């Protein structure tokens, strides 16, 4: 009985120590688990941050690449627009030279009228002949050539644009221009320096004096606004073709 009672403190001590060790172990394990969890979370966050960093760098590279391409496109478009503008300007100049564009500007209007001369012929003959005409294609050509020599930039006759392909010829009692038959009075409109054009026609012994000898009335009017219509016929080349530079060398 005595021995049994003697073991009780020892057993109690052992039980206490065991409980203490178990508690300590549990706390150690809990602390270790917490530390492991914390480290695991930190590693996961670090990995996630690295993933976002890589993604950001990749996107930044793509953005830079796209910005570079956009700048290239802008530069190319700018050069293209500049080239197109130059080509359009050249086309417009060629259209003006070919007479394919309506033009306006200051200049002169020269009117040739043979009514008085025809009436005089009829009075002298005692009857009126509708087939009689006084103004010839040569008279109109004289005026046109003088206007061109004086610097005229565009010319029309009774609404018909005069170009390099325009024909002016007598057809019976009328004059044919661009395939259209026209009768007097003939209004020749020319764009250019009004004073220069008018003075060139009025030179002593010049065009006006020559035409007036046939009793043709010549009226010259200066104008600040003259409208010259465009050439409305189709220009076709059936036999003529352009010559290549290589062909010229040969």
pLDDT, tens digit, for every residue of 194-234? Answer: 999 999 999 998 889 988 888 889 999 999 999 999 998 87
Query: Is the pLDDT assigned to residue 179 strictly greater than 50?
Result: yes
Structural domains of the chain, count:
2
Section 64-78 average pLDDT:
74
142 and 33 in one domain?
Answer: no
203 and 154 in one domain?
Answer: yes
Chain-wide mean pLDDT for the chain? 78
47 and 164 in one domain?
Answer: no
Give me the pLDDT at residue 42, please: 61
Higher-confidence residue of 162 and 34: namely 162
134 and 43 in one domain?
Answer: no
Give me the pLDDT at residue 5, please: 46
Give the pLDDT band (50/70/90) at residue 90.
confident
Look up the domain containing 52 and give its range: 1-72
The CATH number that applies at residue 155 is 3.30.70.1880
User: What is the rounded CA–CA span in Å between residue 250 and residue 127?
Assistant: 66
pTM value is: 0.64
């Amino acid at each position: 009985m005595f021995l049994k009672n003697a073991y009780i403190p020892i057993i109690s001590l052992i039980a206490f120590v065991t409980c203490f060790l178990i508690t300590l172990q549990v706390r150690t394990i809990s602390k270790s688990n917490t530390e492991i969890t914390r480290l695991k979370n930190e590693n996961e966050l670090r990995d996630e941050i690295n993933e976002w960093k890589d993604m950001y760098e990749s996107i930044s590279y793509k953005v830079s690449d796209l910005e570079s391409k956009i700048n290239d496109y802008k530069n190319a478009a700018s050069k293209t627009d500049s080239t197109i503008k130059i080509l359009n300007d050249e086309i417009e100049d060629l259209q003006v030279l070919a007479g394919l564009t309506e033009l306006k500007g200051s200049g002169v209007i020269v009117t040739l009228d043979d009514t008085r001369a025809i009436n005089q012929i009829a009075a002298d003959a005692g009857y009126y002949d509708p087939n009689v005409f006084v103004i010839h294609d040569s008279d109109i050509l004289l005026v046109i050539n003088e206007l061109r020599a004086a610097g005229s930039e565009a010319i029309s006759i009774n609404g018909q644009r005069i170009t390099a392909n325009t024909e002016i010829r007598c057809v019976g009692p009328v004059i044919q221009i661009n395939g259209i038959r026209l009768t007097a009075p003939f209004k020749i409109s020319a764009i250019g320096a009004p004073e220069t054009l008018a003075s060139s026609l009025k030179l002593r012994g010049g065009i006006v004096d020559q035409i007036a000898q046939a009793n043709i009335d010549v009226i010259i009017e200066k104008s600040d606004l003259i409208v010259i219509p465009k050439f409305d016929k189709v220009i076709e080349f059936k036999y003529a073709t352009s010559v290549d530079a290589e062909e010229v060398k040969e």
